[in-house]
Structure 1
Amino acid sequence: MNNSSVDATTAHSFWPQVSVVVPIYNGETDLPDLISCLLAQTYPQDRVEYLLVDNNSSDRTLTYLNTAAELSPLTIRPLSENQIQSSYAARNTGIRAATGEIIAFTDADCRPQPQWLELLIQPFSDQNIVIVVGEIAALPSKNILEQHADQQDTLSQKHTLAHPFCAYGQTANLAIRRIVLEKVGLFRPYLTTGGDADICWRILLAKIGDLKFAPGAIVKHRHRSTFKELQSQWRRYGRSNRYLHELYGVKLMPGLKPKDYIYRLIRWLLKEIPKNILQAIAGKATLVDFLSTPIGLFTAKARYSGQSEAKLPEKAQIIEWL
């Protein structure tokens, strides 16, 4: 146990056995930073195992995982999911191998902060709590697209927690009691997006227990830095909306008509830009403020395209069980 773990142990008496599941696809370049973040966790090392699941990577991910398992003082268990190409299938592989009473989730490209796991797990001391959602913050932004996403809090769980159908947490920072997964099943392995909402909703709609937000349990994630990455991200949000519509009847996001785009662009040119110029002179506006509207229209179009073109896979109805 490292020193931080010893200090943390004196601060709390609630230290259940935890299994952290991380799906990984071609994550070789992300793994050194991820492992460093896991080593820095204040949660006692003898109370946590890390199940790192390679999802048929074509790089050296699995080799790196095996080496890390041998050399790290952490309990790292490398696993493989090669049958189904889906992060949810990989998470299911991790859950099945897990020994902890609480299963925590994050992703290979996330950077859990030192107290992440400690603060994510503490709310489970209340037996009514069955899901805990931590916050997702941005890594330092380097360009306009990333700064725009910062301004919009794109990654924050506040958006999913306020979902009009039912609150949920993204699997980048989520923990669930193992016992409830025995009751409602695991992730839908053939979904490619929307599975985090689905599993939270199945638990909450079954009225098995409550969800708690732990804002201090932070993982950091990088924003998309190119238009191609940004388009892919928002198209995925659109596909998720379509899938959840077909599974739960969730309302679809309305698309903007051509005249709406024209109106918003004219309003941007004639009203917003002059206003931003005045604010810039006063030192209260940046380039991000000037470009917020066109970037927002770009992401809205990408989301609607993803929603319009998506079709729920037939196998997505399948729920795997422990």
Structure 2
Amino acid sequence: MSASISVIIPIYNGEQDLPGLIETLRSQTYPASCVEYLLVDNNSRDRTAEMLIAASEEMATQGITLRPLTEANIQSSYAARNTGIRAANSEILVFTDADCRPQPDWLTLLIEPFAKENIGLVAGEVVALPSQNLLEKYADCKDVLSQKHTINHPFCAYGQTANLAVRRQAFEQVGLFRPYLTTGGDADMCWRILQGTDWEIEFVPRAIVRHRHRATLEELRSQWKRYGCSNRYLHELHGVDLQRELKGKESLRRLARWVLKELPINTLKVATGKGSAVELLQTPLDLFSFNARTIGQREAKLPEKAKEIDRL
């Protein structure tokens, strides 16, 4: 008999994302009778709430349980996830995001490792959605979203909540997400479990969730600045080493090398059909991203309330 699982998804202003998300949930191969989908509206200002109600009613006619929930007190995806955890009826809790697109066999593959009694967390892979956008191709080339980076983190393995499953028992032992934390909460939670209990984590590359990369320079800058903020917060919470900053002189040397050496070589490759625009612009995009991360790391200051841990 298939295990009972609860899928928890925080949503903020998800009007554009919901139709695609609902379709991927409807397409899951895991027995619908064993799954409840808890979609938590985090104080949205668009039509998210009414769309969730309509989707719940429609999916009920197909034998699929979708429960709309609300977290309006704290504006944080981690607080919304905590609301879902408290309402969940299952022992295995699965997390993804509203702008993710789980593949049909996602749930089936993701929960297989829980057959082993020592496994408390399971991370699936995050793969980019197809795109012709240059910045998205750049991020895809760098494998920015891949969980292989988080699983092999030098401090301690973790999984991103875009594609992660956790035993309820683990939350009972170490507490829930920090509700006032704005970034880095997935690493923090996983580390508290892996370092404070005997549970282990397993990576399932075949359990795939697709996600779109950032498509504009502003979105790319915001993403990498948030990575910097996360580094700072996790440094203060766990003593994690801060990412090495790219100093001004080093940036100028790398930019000069790009102009004088890399750009002419890669321009020739593109002209002869042996290279791509991504290769042509990789170094300046790297410098742009690393600079944004450095700014985030320098400017971030962990709020005192962000240290609080919710409990079941």
Shorter chain as normaliser: what TM range? Answer: over 0.9
Residue pairs, 1:1-322, within 5 angstroms = 15-72=2-59, 73=62, 74-322=64-312
> In 1, Cα distance between the equivalents of 2:81 and 2:162?
12
Q: Tell me the SS of whatever aligns to 2:234.
A: helix
Equivalenced residues, count: 309
Equivalent AA in structure 2 for residue 274 of structure 1: P
Question: Alpha-carbon deviations, 1:14-60, whole Å to 9, x = none?
Answer: x2100000000000111010000001001000000000000000001
> In 2, Cα distance between the equivalents of 1:295 and 1:162?
24
Is contact 1:160-1:170 (8 Å) kept? Answer: yes
User: How far did residue 282 of structure 1 move?
Assistant: 4.9
User: How far did residue 255 of structure 1 move?
Assistant: 1.5
Question: Alpha-carbon deviations, 1:142-180, whole Å to 9, x = none?
Answer: 211111001001111111111110010000000000111
Equivalent AA in structure 2 for residue 147 of structure 1: K
RMSD, aligned CA:
1.0
> In 2, Cα distance between the equivalents of 1:123 and 1:202?
20
Q: Can you give the 5+ residue segments of structure 2 that lack an aligned partner in the other structure?
A: none
> In 2, Cα distance between the equivalents of 1:218 and 1:277?
35
> In 2, Cα distance between the equivalents of 1:118 and 1:313?
39
> In 2, Cα distance between the equivalents of 1:212 and 1:275?
42
Q: Tell me the SS of whatever aligns to 1:217.
A: strand
TM-score (norm 1): 0.94
Q: Which runs of 4+ in 1 moved over 6 A?
A: none
Question: Alpha-carbon deviations, 1:89-145, whole Å to 9, x = none?
Answer: 000000000001100000000000000111001111111111000000001122111
Q: Between the two proteins, what is the percent identity of the paired residues? A: 63
TM-score (norm 2): 0.97
> In 2, Cα distance between the equivalents of 1:16 and 1:178?
13
Is contact 1:180-1:208 (8 Å) kept? Answer: no
Equivalent AA in structure 1 for residue 144 of structure 2: T
User: How far did residue 88 of structure 1 move?
Assistant: 0.1
> In 2, Cα distance between the equivalents of 1:153 and 1:164?
17
Q: Can you give the 5+ residue segments of structure 1 that lack an aligned partner in the other structure?
A: 1-12
User: How far did residue 283 of structure 1 move?
Assistant: 3.0
Q: Tell me the SS of whatever aligns to 1:93.
A: helix
User: How far did residue 316 of structure 1 move?
Assistant: 1.1
